[in-house]
Structure 1
């Protein structure tokens, strides 16, 4: 492998590459368009398209594609070649500014939540100038990938990128406004930053192919835990196995080539579970890079005869997988607005931004919870390192104390506290401003907030554009207040504002154990919502205050918001049907015959012993075992019939939310009951007859 610095960015069309290939006037215009200060003309686009094409072909590209993110949580692409025919019949390469700026996609085949009629197919992909283009594919047949937004014929947002871009504009605009209010004449641009940690499992591909549930639904609907799971904590941060290390090295190389800084990799808590963390970037680019990372994880795993599982809870009883979104705001010069070290007696900016986040999370906690409401996350939230469904904010002792005493104590920069560990000749370690709380859904972690609730398979766009929207909304209200108050002393006004808002919203701050049942009782006393599952959370999208929130911020129209509600209801229904149908087919077509075969062998063995010895007491334990097996078999048959009957009944329900509630109430409990009996049967049937790979195979054989 080449030196990583030689590899990095070789398949990414950076701004430096553009600057080298176009006249300075063109580059300046491009940057002005990026900043929203100019329109991109077709003439300028033609120049940029030509140099991009030349670069792509020089590096082995034959095609280009507009790469976008529909409401499937996945990405989409349609490839066109650079080959064209000239007027004289000669073959030439061609790529116009028009092709760069705009593509066309059939919207009717993507989920749009009824925002368009099924016969209205026209939609557009529009080039996102903020996110760099890149090359992917095999040597000699690569494609140029152009990050794009996906909209309907009338400009409706049909994807994950458009609301994210709108929200970034909104929160940065309000942050810059606040910056000017607090610091006269400040002209610094504010940037929305994001760092994403991605968890995933790896299993042997040959086992994955034998599990219909894993292949189709992403999780195991059956499986008995082996005697050893994650209890010994020996996998977490443990030595990476050689085979996994080879996979990770190839993954790093592919990511580095397209300009993604894959920074951290390690074993996670559960057996065969791993994590990769990407370097902080702008929120838009970070979301794009995370989507790419998920796709590349799967493809690289496949080359190593592995299957990558991105589902939130592939295995019951061990840790699930999340996508931790580390969110912050900073100036274009690199100053982090959430850095507590910037806090002084005369500079309360940090507290203003901090309070806006606390208030936004408190007021719109239900919406934040809803961004993570998926069938997969229903299995994950609330245990095994995942945060609970109740949204709360963790700040740490130091910040709690400051907020409790706003205006009553002086705040000064101090030297960092050093951690003494009682070992001679060992360097003293600087302590962070606060400890960490792994059970907190929304925790302050030094100079950013970590939202730990999003599931591993979901796009980070949805929780991030919601965080942007709620924080931007509160900052706008703060700005209105500070600009219109009669008191001219800005510090006094800020302290008054902070005191008032902290008193109203400190109920969302919680530093204790989120897994403790007492927290559920305490949260109810505080008036905090506890939306324990998807069907409880989805209606939040239709609340009047939520519709107003998005309309006032111009992030989503009412129609666009309602369409997402419809899409997510459909997603829940389809996922439950896939899981239920997979469970029925596996239980009826694979497990039931195995039970019959095993019980027949047992019966024949019992009869043979009886004939040979004639002593009934000798076969008593075997008879009891056989009776137990047959009893479970009958339970299995009964539950399977119930599931099939109720699924048929559910098909007749037309209202999407009503159907989702029906499936949650009727089918999900039956699937849980079915799992109990199948898992019990797994322990009764001999290993060589059990038809599907077990948890032991999936979690410990790699």
Structure 2
């Protein structure tokens, strides 16, 4: 482990082609042109692109790079890249030139035929394009392949449809920019030029020993344990949460921080999470598309550094049953280019009319499009978490806290907000500790969408998912709400009165989505049903919200998705769900057939031999016989459940692909998997540990 002292200020961003590097290396005219396009949009002319490409190549080569790649995010859930070296055609003297043109920087052409397209492209229609996202800086990544210049790009088909996460994200950012500027102009702001969503994504993860990981086929194939009995100790003592970080894990955290800082990722917070072997890393906020790129870098770097420390990083939402799974809190706010946070309520939020309009617009957006927000967090792994007292419930609600809820109630009941609750002094009762002012509002970890001071925290996102999808939805639905309000205000003869009326109207009509209480309580499920709030419990049930007429109208209005792109994404999600469950089912069959049943059969023979030997010795063999009887019964239950799972898995594979097949996997295959798991987990508690064919939960979670 590297024990050298680290000067964060010196290494931060050293592997990033950032603004500082561009100012130093690019001619002033070229720098200004690029900067203008980054801030205002537009296209680079080829001669300018050639200059940028040359300097980017020279910088990357100085960092040791031999190859470059257009780094993009197809609809596979992970990033993709094709590497090309800087070598050009050999010269007559046998030497080669290192070249990189503006055309190569701006556009790439990976084969698009093997990426998910949901029917947008036929298999033989192979051409696709990557386009440089110049608002997200290029970086050099160092790994076993050496150093590679990575250029963040969007990815679209030959006919222009978005085949990635980045393209619709950039479209949604433009939508909220246009509508946000309209809103600011109404309030007399003529200086702000751009409104940008800012995001900070907290990343939860597990670390396990690599050797033990490799002895678990379920972890290798699916990223989660498909079998496993709980150890005597889990998370019930809450002693792991914020506890002292184990030295092996601390070494990992030190190295991952250093790598991320070099890549310009502002990793700030690290701590142990609730479950044993679970941890969290949180960055400082960044512009939305950069935050999405950074989160992908975080996940990739975690996996790489974990291997260097003899560990494996598990990003699945539910690696272990019986303890908390992992999520990713998406902290979202809206800021201007000159530093104004539209979600800052100020000291007296009841007097902050602009904030109240923004807030009530967001309530309207969440209330009207709760199904889309829920779908944006839909993932096969998240089905194990949402609503399970370890993550927000599957019901979308908004936590505002006592202060803003009080302001909202004033608006609803009287049409005027005349005061705001203030924070009181917190007295510790200890003379040597200072008394201090506490916030006017507590936090609520059970809320899916919580206001936390000057941002909203969308807490439903799965730990391995891209945060692009949730932010596409957030940006677009809020843009729509802003646009609707601006339409009315701009047409009104009395703008001030219209603003007042809209705030009251939106506060009143969307109050049902506001809930400050315990989201885990059974009473809330009943109350939410009474309020008419949707309770979408699974990914399969969530997917249809993508293709409703309401969704199509929303996304087409702001040019974020076309109907065809939405329909293709729905098909991809049905397909990905079916494939994920099919892999899990086949893995369970494989492990049970080849590892667990043979091991238990050997153990039953040992028990049977023991019973005979004890009886022959003239002693009572009742205990041994009882254990043999119980083990044999569970083995029979296992075989029965195994046959049933094989049958439904085969039936599922023959179903019509899409919604029909995904629904069958959800309704028939998943329950069959649970029925197979039950006797096997019981067997693990009976069978000799030396005989059991894989490391236990205790081995994995407590021996890191």
Provide the TM-score with structure 1 as the length reference.
Answer: 0.97
Aligned to 1:679: 681
Shift in Å at residue 433 of structure 1? 3.3
Partners of 1:14 and 1:132 within 8 A in 2: yes
Shift in Å at residue 656 of structure 1? 1.4
Shift in Å at residue 443 of structure 1? 0.3
Shift in Å at residue 414 of structure 1? 9.1
Question: Take 1:243 and 1:509, find their aligned partners in 2: how far apart are those partners?
Answer: 43
1:607 aligns with 2:612: yes
1:362 aligns with 2:367: yes
Q: What are the residue-to-residue correspondences of 1:133-144 with 2, within 5 Å?
A: 133-138=138-143, 141-144=146-149
Question: Take 1:37 and 1:673, find their aligned partners in 2: how far apart are those partners?
Answer: 55
1:444 aligns with 2:451: yes
Partners of 2:407 and 2:420 within 8 A in 1: no
Q: 1:272 to 1:606 in 2, by over 3 A?
A: same
Question: Take 1:312 and 1:184, find their aligned partners in 2: how far apart are those partners?
Answer: 43
Partners of 1:433 and 1:446 within 8 A in 2: no
Q: Deviations over 1:193-213 (max 9, x none)?
A: 001100000001111101111
Shift in Å at residue 222 of structure 1? 0.5
Partners of 1:343 and 1:350 within 8 A in 2: no
SS in structure 2 opposite 1:35?
helix
Question: Take 2:597 and 2:56, find their aligned partners in 1: how far apart are those partners?
Answer: 59
Question: Take 1:411 and 1:145, find their aligned partners in 2: how far apart are those partners?
Answer: 53
SS in structure 1 opposite 2:113?
helix
Unaligned runs of 5+ in 2: none
Shift in Å at residue 465 of structure 1? 0.6
Q: 1:224 to 1:320 in 2, by over 3 A?
A: same
Q: 1:647 aligns with which of 646, 649, 653?
A: 649
Question: Take 2:193 and 2:125, find their aligned partners in 1: how far apart are those partners?
Answer: 44
1:323 aligns with 2:328: yes
Q: 1:435 aligns with which of 417, 442, 445?
A: 442
SS in structure 2 opposite 1:13?
coil
Partners of 2:611 and 2:621 within 8 A in 1: yes
Partners of 1:131 and 1:147 within 8 A in 2: yes
Question: Take 2:389 and 2:594, find their aligned partners in 1: how far apart are those partners?
Answer: 33
Partners of 1:196 and 1:278 within 8 A in 2: yes
Q: Deviations over 1:72-95 (max 9, x none)?
A: 111011111111235544311101
Question: Take 2:263 and 2:556, find their aligned partners in 1: how far apart are those partners?
Answer: 36
Shift in Å at residue 140 of structure 1? 9.5
Q: 2:668 aligns with which of 666, 669, 689?
A: 666
Aligned to 2:209: 204
Q: Deviations over 1:48-91 (max 9, x none)?
A: 01111111111111111100001111101111111123554431
Shift in Å at residue 420 of structure 1? 2.0
Q: Deviations over 1:467-512 (max 9, x none)?
A: 00100001100000111123x2x33221211111111110000111
Partners of 2:446 and 2:518 within 8 A in 1: yes
Q: 1:185 to 1:346 in 2, by over 3 A?
A: farther
Aligned to 2:88: 84
Question: Take 2:523 and 2:267, find their aligned partners in 1: how far apart are those partners?
Answer: 39
Q: 2:491 aligns with which of 460, 484, 489?
A: 484
Question: Take 1:147 and 1:222, find their aligned partners in 2: how far apart are those partners?
Answer: 39
Aligned to 1:14: 18
Q: 1:525 aligns with which of 522, 525, 530?
A: 530
Q: Deviations over 1:263-290 (max 9, x none)?
A: 0000000000000001101001000000
**Which shows bigger deviation, 428-437 or 439-448?**
428-437
Question: Take 1:352 and 1:213, find their aligned partners in 2: how far apart are those partners?
Answer: 50
Q: 1:685 to 1:452 in 2, by over 3 A?
A: same
Shift in Å at residue 139 of structure 1? 8.9
1:394 aligns with 2:399: yes
Partners of 1:263 and 1:276 within 8 A in 2: yes
Calculate the aligned-residue CA RMSD, in Å.
Answer: 1.6
Aligned to 1:584: 589
Question: Take 1:646 and 1:438, find their aligned partners in 2: how far apart are those partners?
Answer: 38
Question: Take 2:597 and 2:26, find their aligned partners in 1: how far apart are those partners?
Answer: 68
Shift in Å at residue 458 of structure 1? 0.2
SS in structure 1 opposite 2:387?
coil
1:233 aligns with 2:235: no
SS in structure 1 opposite 2:196?
strand
Q: 1:695 aligns with which of 681, 694, 697?
A: 697
Partners of 2:318 and 2:382 within 8 A in 1: yes
Q: 1:546 aligns with which of 543, 551, 557?
A: 551
**Which shows bigger deviation, 283-292 or 638-647?**
638-647
Unaligned runs of 5+ in 1: none
1:271 aligns with 2:273: no
Aligned to 1:556: 561
Aligned to 1:174: 179
1:242 aligns with 2:247: yes
SS in structure 1 opposite 2:232?
coil
Q: 1:655 to 1:91 in 2, by over 3 A?
A: closer
Partners of 2:74 and 2:163 within 8 A in 1: yes
Question: Take 1:316 and 1:226, find their aligned partners in 2: how far apart are those partners?
Answer: 11
Q: 2:30 aligns with which of 23, 26, 30?
A: 26
Question: Take 1:695 and 1:511, find their aligned partners in 2: how far apart are those partners?
Answer: 36
Q: What are the residue-to-residue correspondences of 1:406-417 with 2, within 5 Å?
A: 406=411, 411=418, 417=424
Shift in Å at residue 654 of structure 1? 1.6
Partners of 1:210 and 1:693 within 8 A in 2: yes
Question: Take 1:417 and 1:492, find their aligned partners in 2: how far apart are those partners?
Answer: 34
Shift in Å at residue 432 of structure 1? 2.2
Q: 1:466 aligns with which of 449, 462, 473?
A: 473
Q: 1:188 to 1:205 in 2, by over 3 A?
A: same
Shift in Å at residue 418 of structure 1? 3.2
Q: 1:313 to 1:345 in 2, by over 3 A?
A: closer
Shift in Å at residue 386 of structure 1? 0.5
Question: Take 1:264 and 1:184, find their aligned partners in 2: how far apart are those partners?
Answer: 35
Question: Take 1:537 and 1:160, find their aligned partners in 2: how far apart are those partners?
Answer: 19
Shift in Å at residue 400 of structure 1? 0.6
Partners of 1:346 and 1:491 within 8 A in 2: no
**Which shows bigger deviation, 140-149 or 215-224?**
140-149
Question: Take 1:381 and 1:53, find their aligned partners in 2: how far apart are those partners?
Answer: 46
Question: Take 2:38 and 2:258, find their aligned partners in 1: how far apart are those partners?
Answer: 29
Q: 2:571 aligns with which of 566, 570, 574?
A: 566
Question: Take 2:373 and 2:416, find their aligned partners in 1: how far apart are those partners?
Answer: 33
1:636 aligns with 2:641: no
SS in structure 2 opposite 1:85?
coil
Shift in Å at residue 429 of structure 1? 2.6
Aligned to 1:60: 64
Q: 1:41 aligns with which of 15, 39, 45?
A: 45
Question: Take 2:82 and 2:360, find their aligned partners in 1: how far apart are those partners?
Answer: 45
1:597 aligns with 2:596: no
Question: Take 1:541 and 1:364, find their aligned partners in 2: how far apart are those partners?
Answer: 10
